[in-house]
Amino acid sequence: MSNVRVRFAPSPTGFLHIGSARTALFNWLFARHEEGKFFLRIEDTDKERSKDEFLEEILSSLKWLGLDWDGELIRQSRRTDFYRKKAEELLSKSLAYYEEKAIRFRVPKTGKIVVEDMLRGNIEFDTAIFEDLVIFKSDGSPTYNFAVVCDDADMGITHVIRGDDHISNTPKQLPLYEALGLKPPVFCHIPLILGEDRSRLSKRHGATSIREYREAGFLPEAVVNYLALLGWSPGNNQELIERNELIQKFDLKRVLRTGAVFGKDKLEWMNGQYVRKCGVPELTDKLIPYLEARGYGVPAHACLPAGRDRAWLERLVALFHERIFTLAQFPELAQFFFEDKIEYNEEAAKEFSKDPRLKNAFLSYAKVLESLPNFDTPAVEEKSRAHMKELGMSGKEFIHPCRVAVTGRAISPPFFDTVSLLGKQKAVDRLKQAAQLV
């Protein structure tokens, strides 16, 4: 068993951001690769901004991503007495002093502070630029830099893997380790994630929290795979990497020194690959909540329209298996299967005015479908093609307008499957409705 011990330490002042999730993932992968420990510490000393709802969301998002932690959850807000004792150590050695009700640490004013970073090598800071550091605020709470040092040492953290926006905090923390007689961890500051315009990722680049991607129907396996490749690579241009393989191949030294660009289109493509990997029954289970949220049926009936069963729903899911990239796309794309009334896409409906034969084609086709005793796909296709031949219409002349008639759209899954899954009544009613518009 390795002695590697790392931590992820979010503040519950907002939802779990994509960048923070990537930091958590790199810590988790490093710990699991080294057979070490991954701890979760909640930095909630900011009493005004820390909220339980944010903590719950952070924990929920980490669990959804499969980033399990070792040991108990640690909360800084419950460790004030511990920090106070550490501050008193410094006071007793005259390394800290009171200033009004706050406590300040005496920062050395000569020499240089050298931060040894795994990715960047040595980074030097002149101590003369730093003022004495407040370690306890006048409200009786510890400051970030002090609490972090006390906690990391107390938890035996061996490696601190965090965003490079923390580089400026490290020279403030190193003198505290020395003053308290503590061994500092190995530091590894990873570059921040950038938007496609190469500025720091923010809300203006679209969804930024894990919760938003979860609600949009992204799969945790895909998000983990994508985040792992933001600033790290196994070195062989491999893009689809399962979790166990990520653990096996993850090497902190292969993390890039430049900011990785987050592309939602690439994440959506990757999610689509993981959707394809799902079996139809499994994918159906994942899609049902999205149908329920859209109001298609009730949970007790698995969201199915009247008279439909699980087998019907799985046939429908199979029809869209290769077409959806996120789970939330399914209810929108399959809308015309669930709703009684459809609205015709304006561009698609222009098809009706192009051929004067369509009114008769729609009405006669409705009669053909109405007479079918068996409404499975082969039976629908056989009778439909025979009817096209009788009408003297090509597949393009007949199928495309009929597709619009029964779905309201110019694009749908294969036509005969679509008609069969719609069912006789819906298909017939919509053909008659379309005939009135010709």
Q: What is the 3-state secondary structure (H, E, C) of 63-99?
A: HHHCCCCCCCCEEHHHCHHHHHHHHHHHHHCCCEEEE
Enumerate residues 6+ apart whose C-beta is below 8 A from 384.
365, 368, 398, 399, 416, 419
For residue 207, what pLDDT is reported?
A: 65
Options 3.30.499.10, 3.40.50.80, 1.10.150.120, 1.10.10.350; CATH for 346-435 is 1.10.10.350
Per-residue model confidence (pLDDT) at position 1? 54
pLDDT value of residue 161: 98
**Can 203 be counted among the known catalytic residues?**
yes
C-alpha distances in Å from residue 325, one per residue of 209, 260, 279, 336, 357 = 19, 23, 15, 19, 38
Q: What's this model's pTM, rounded to 2 decimal places? A: 0.92
Q: Which of 51, 93, 109, 203 is catalytic?
A: 203
- pLDDT (tens digit, 0 to 9) for every residue of the chain, 438 residues total? 579 999 999 999 999 999 999 999 999 999 999 999 999 999 998 888 999 999 999 999 999 999 999 999 999 999 999 999 999 999 999 999 999 999 999 998 888 999 999 999 999 999 888 999 999 999 999 999 999 999 999 999 999 999 999 999 999 999 999 999 999 999 999 999 998 888 888 767 666 899 999 999 999 999 999 999 999 998 888 999 999 999 999 999 899 888 889 999 999 999 999 999 999 999 999 999 999 999 885 444 455 666 678 899 999 999 999 999 999 999 999 999 998 888 887 777 777 777 889 999 999 999 999 999 999 999 999 999 999 999 999 989 999 999 999 999 888 999 999 999 999 999 999 999 999 888
Q: What is the pLDDT of residue 290?
A: 94
**Distance from C-alpha of 61 to C-alpha of 16, rounded to nearest angstrom:** 7
Q: Using CA atoms, how far apart are residues 257 and 293, in angstroms rounded to an integer?
A: 42
Query: Residue 201: its pLDDT value, please?
Result: 80
CATH code for residues 279-337: 1.10.8
Question: How large is the greatest C-alpha to C-alpha distance in the chain, in angstroms?
Answer: 101
Report d(CA 149, CA 139) in Å as an integer.
20
Q: Is there a contact between 219 and 329 (Cβ–Cβ < 8 Å)? A: no
Q: What is the amino acid identity at position 252?
A: L
State residue 236's pLDDT score.
Answer: 84
Q: Where are the domains of the chain?
A: 203-275, 279-337, 346-435
- What is residue 295's predicted lDDT score, i.e. its pLDDT? 86
* Tokens describing residue 62: 């980490």
Rg value, the chain, Cα: 30
Q: Would you identify the CATH topology of the domain 203-275?
A: Glutamyl-tRNA Synthetase; domain 2 (1.10.1160)
Q: What is the pLDDT of residue 299?
A: 45
Q: What per-residue confidence (pLDDT) applies to 2? A: 75
| Tokens at 281, concatenated | 């029954």
Burial of residue 6 (CB within 10 Å: 0-12, 13-18, 19+) is buried
Identify the pLDDT of residue 110. Answer: 84
Beta-strand pair 37-42/74-75 = parallel
pLDDT for the residue 383 = 96
Residue 341 pLDDT: 85
What's the confidence (pLDDT) of residue 342? 86
Domains 203-275 and 279-337 share a fold: no
Strand 133-136: give its sheet, edge to edge: 96-99, 102-105, 133-136
Pair 6, 39: CB distance under 8 Å: yes
